[in-house]
Amino acid sequence: MIETSYNTVAADYHRLLKDILLEQPSERPALDRFAELVGDGPVGDLGCGTGRITTYLASLGLDVFGIDLSPGMVEVARQEYPDLRFEVGSLFDLDLKDDELAGALAWYSLVHTPREDLPAVFAEIFRVVRPGGYLVHGFKVGGGSRHLSHAYGHDVDLEVYTFDPADVSALLADAGFAEVVTMPRPQIPGEKDPQAAVIVRKPE
């Protein structure tokens, strides 16, 4: 179960990944581009984990807050970044108003979501992003899945899904978004999968 697994690993997950943007900055170009596009207004880091990306975007001047399914991850985020807001919630049913966000992130937060469930998530994100607002979605590239039984020093029970970038773009278009750019990310030594991010915009 996703929630249980991430509750278990939360503290070690944060310890291992909190500085990765400094050590391996290949994630930054897509995040920086997103930050430049969004401008003013609230930004939701949807599936924020322990807040490492939330705090990075805050350092770029965005009015950003985090939502995550795992109470354990949210607890760590609140402890580590007390000046930012973090809430427990599901990407399938966000406690946000229609058109509330200037921007949203789903930054590797859908890697455990099978393809058949992505349309529902993308539709929910489309609902909460305002016309003219942006979404950046980071994901693993491929065409299948694998089971993950051990991670971050703990036993877990997770399925990891990989996606074709063209298929992701098509699903986002079906939800109503217009693609701005797809940005492949160089693969870091030791990673099992290539990575990519797509930035899309909700038409005005």
Mean pLDDT across the chain, nearest whole number?
A: 92
Range of the structural domain that residue 59 is part of = 2-201
Q: Using alpha carbons, select from 72, 30, 82, 73 the residue that is nearest to residue 48.
A: 73
pLDDT at 27: 87
Give residue for tokens 């920086």. Answer: 32
Q: What is the pLDDT of residues 54-93, one digit of tens each?
A: 999 999 999 999 999 999 999 999 999 999 999 999 999 9
pLDDT at 12: 77
Give residue for tokens 């590239």. Answer: 141
Number of domains observed in the structure of the chain: 1
Is the pLDDT score of 166 beyond 90?
Answer: yes
CATH code of 137's domain? 3.40.50.150
pTM of the model: 0.93
**Cβ count within 10 A of residue 132:** 14
Terminal-to-terminal C-alpha distance of the chain? 38
